[in-house]
């Protein structure tokens, strides 16, 4: 099928199921020209279709970043949350400010996605000074997020810290990340957090 026919199928969908199938087919093309329609779907009241649209946007990757940032919906919170999840999965540095802000969002699912996304930033696309400044901001935010009241968000922050630590080097890991992980391992009330922080520490320090 042509892209035009797939786009038309999304517009013609008259049920939740038909919309889901149409969006899946469109997403599977991985065609950057599908980005506007996939972003539009994020605003529909159809979680299944939104998930399919996010998957398509993530697969398309870099070409989807600017349109996502440009069309972040300040009125439709659901659409904004799905867009942030897309940006978190893609990991493009252009979304850094959005993800840093989203890590403090009122919705735990958004905070969790943002925390994981901050650990996935593709720093190699920036010059050295930009990398250092961005990594410092991310480190500060993730350390703060390890105190989130929701354990799933703290878990995501640990995952983010582990990923970030691999790009920061031994000194930063030892001086800032490792003490945080040790504290979580010994003091957090959730067994999942204690175990995941220990695992992250072992992976970062070889201990």
What are the pLDDT digits (tens) for 29-51?
999 999 999 999 999 989 999 99
pTM for the model stands at 0.90
Q: Are residues 104 and 176 in the same domain?
A: yes
Q: Are residues 110 and 155 in the same domain?
A: yes
In the chain, how many domains are there?
A: 2
What one-character-per-residue DSSP string does 66-98 give?
HHHHHT--SS-HHHHHHHHHHHHHH--GGGHHH
Q: Are residues 116 and 200 in the same domain?
A: yes
Q: Are residues 80 and 168 in the same domain?
A: no
Q: Are residues 59 and 121 in the same domain?
A: no
Q: What's the pLDDT score for residue 167?
A: 84
The domain in which residue 36 lies consists of: 1-90
* pLDDT tier for residue 207 given thresholds of 50, 70 and 90: low
Q: Is the pLDDT of residue 73 over 90?
A: no
Domain boundary, last residue among 66, 90, 114: 90
Q: For residue range 130-181, what is the model confidence (pLDDT) as tens digits?
A: 999 999 999 999 999 999 999 999 999 999 999 999 888 788 888 999 999 9
């Amino acid at each position: 099928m042509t892209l035009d026919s797939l786009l038309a199928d999304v517009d013609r969908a008259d049920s939740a199921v038909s919309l889901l199938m149409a969006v899946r087919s469109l997403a599977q093309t991985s065609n950057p020209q599908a980005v506007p329609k996939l972003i539009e779907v994020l605003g529909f009241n159809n979680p299944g279709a939104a998930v399919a649209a996010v998957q398509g946007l993530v697969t398309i990757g870099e070409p989807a970043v600017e349109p996502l940032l440009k069309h972040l919906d300040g009125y439709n919170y659901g659409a904004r949350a799905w867009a942030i999840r897309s940006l978190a999965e893609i990991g493009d540095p252009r979304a850094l400010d959005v993800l840093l802000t989203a890590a403090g969002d009122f919705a735990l699912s958004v905070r969790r996605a943002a925390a994981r996304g901050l650990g996935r930033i593709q720093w190699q696309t920036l010059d050295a000074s930009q990398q250092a400044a961005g990594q410092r901001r991310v480190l500060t935010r993730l350390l703060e997020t390890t105190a989130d009241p929701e354990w799933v968000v703290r878990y995501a922050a640990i995952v983010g810290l582990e990923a970030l630590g691999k790009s920061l080097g031994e000194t930063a890991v030892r001086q800032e990340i490792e003490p945080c992980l040790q504290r979580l391992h010994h003091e957090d009330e959730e067994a999942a957090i204690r175990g995941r922080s220990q695992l992250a520490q072992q992976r970062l320090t070889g201990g």
